[in-house]
Amino acid sequence: MTIHNPPSPVPETPAQSSGTSGPRSLRRHPETIALHGGSFRFDPVSGAVAVPIYQTTSFQLPGTEGADKLFALEAAGHLYTRVSNPTQDAFEQRLAELESGAAALALASGQAASAFAILNLARAGDNIVSAAGLYGGTWALFAATLKSFGIETRFVDAADPEAFARATDDRTRAYYAESLPNPKLEVFPIAEVAEVGRRFGIPLIVDNTAAPLVIRPLEHGAAIVVYSTTKYIGGHGTSIGGAIVDGGTFPWKDLANRFPTLHEPDPSYHGKTWIEKAAAIDFHPYILRVRAVLLRDIGAAISPQNAFQFIQGLETLPLRLRQHNENAVKVAEFLKNHPKVSRVIFPKFQTGAAGERAEKYLRNGYYGALVGFELRDGREAGRSFIDNLQLLYHVANIGDARSLAIHPSTTTHSQLTAEEQLATGVTPGYVRLSIGLEHWEDIVADIAQALEAA
């Protein structure tokens, strides 16, 4: 299995700050990394410059001695596509470099990424502290499924970073939050909560699905980033996938009591600890263990075909985000002046602490492409608006090239109680839009006619 997937070395020539990377290194711009990041340059067999889809389950092993080393994780190479594959590897390297991370693991879905990100650290009897503003599926994972595994989630208000400290005890293994949680669309205080985590030796895991490149969690102190690559990274609504990116700087090795999964001997690897295994190959213990234990045992592997789709998606991600953002601003401004709309939820319009965080964390004047609004006439008006749309699709997704709309309280968040819905920011008249790449005038025209009819 290829476990060594650090980004390719810093290029010699454009020794120029990327404008998106922090002080870590002088790096190429994201537009360039999206096309060239990682060690893949061309296929050594055919010379193909596009990453081939290695549609194979298994890989020919070297002689028996080489095979021993591969299975013991002492040598880099692929064994079996459940655990690694060259197409997946190329995607992981490119994504890790784009995120200024050390290494990445691609998975079958965003849900697998968030579940594995936690299960890599927490076991029965442990807890995590999470911001309450979460995607409904993540909420259900934490509040019900992880609970049934004996892992407690303590939900706190993201607006109060010290709430994370108050909810922490000796069995707390991670903090978790979305960088730009919908439906509230208030940017999470990444640096502030990462700082609280440093006091206790707890990593902050940030789901950056709604804001790749726009928010840079690792540069603000997060330890791990997770993605549903299904959204903006894929970009075309064709493929389900997820990823975990390890920033490579969290001091796991110094925190033996806090992280037993990394520090206790693992019987399935001859009684070695993951700290030892990683040190032996000069790699990162967190991301090494997710692959070698959770992906090995639970599966949730990304298919080579989907890994290819996400490589394609990355290539145009910076370009697409620019247009998504421009269109979203136009739509938000239109809604702000509409008499049937009581409130528009969009980072550009936020004031107070939320406005300050939007200013601090959102880059280059981007606000993301999610726009929420509330209809004055509540739930029935929200439903009627959706039913009258002609151009925008009514689907439970975000980050598609097409514009999408949904009424969360009766769909994505319907499994939550009314109280839980309000805690995540879903009111009865709330409509969420994911603004796509159509001409903005056509998007606005469709919204205008659906509002008239609502």
Quick one: 388 or 411, whose CB is closer to ligand PLP? Answer: 411
Report how far apart the first and last C-alpha atoms of the chain are (Å, whole number): 55
User: How far is CA 180 from its chain centroid?
Assistant: 10
Smallest gap from residue 382 Cβ to ligand PLP (A): 19
Amino acid at 302: I
What is the number of alpha carbons within 13 Å of residue 418 lying toward its C-beta?
3
In DSSP notation, 82-103 reads TT--HHHHHHHHHHHHHTT-SE
d(CA 177, CA 137): 13
Quick one: 210 or 222, whose CB is closer to ligand PLP? Answer: 210
d(CA 243, CA 226): 6
H-helix segments, 126-243: 136-140, 146-148, 162-166, 190-200
Smallest gap from residue 137 Cβ to ligand PLP (A): 5
Q: Identify the helix (H) or strand (E) that includes residue 118.
A: helix 110-119
Smallest gap from residue 346 Cβ to ligand PLP (A): 17
Smallest gap from residue 24 Cβ to ligand PLP (A): 25
Smallest gap from residue 306 Cβ to ligand PLP (A): 11
Quick one: 180 or 447, whose CB is closer to ligand PLP? Answer: 180
Quick one: 116 or 283, whose CB is closer to ligand PLP? Answer: 116
Smallest gap from residue 205 Cβ to ligand PLP (A): 12
Quick one: 75 or 392, whose CB is closer to ligand PLP? Answer: 392
Cross-strand partners of 266: 272
Quick one: 109 or 153, whose CB is closer to ligand PLP? Answer: 109
Quick one: 242 or 368, whose CB is closer to ligand PLP? Answer: 242
Q: Decide: 108 and 242 in contact? Cβ < 8 Å.
A: yes
Quick one: 30 or 234, whose CB is closer to ligand PLP? Answer: 234
**DSSP-derived secondary structure letter, 80:** B
Q: What is the CA radius of gyration of the chain?
A: 22
**1 closest CA partner among 330, 292, 220, 248:** 292
Residues that bind ligand PLP (CB under 6 A): 109-111, 135, 137-138, 178, 207, 209-210, 228, 230, 240, 242, 398
Smallest gap from residue 241 Cβ to ligand PLP (A): 6
Smallest gap from residue 213 Cβ to ligand PLP (A): 15
Quick one: 138 or 325, whose CB is closer to ligand PLP? Answer: 138
Smallest gap from residue 41 Cβ to ligand PLP (A): 29
Give the pairing of strands 204-207 and 224-228.
parallel
Question: 318 by DSSP, 3-state: which?
Answer: helix
**Residue nearest ligand PLP, Cβ-based:** 110
Question: 173 by DSSP, 3-state: which?
Answer: strand
The helix/strand count (H/E) of the chain reads as: 17, 12
Q: Decide: 449 and 388 in contact? Cβ < 8 Å.
A: yes
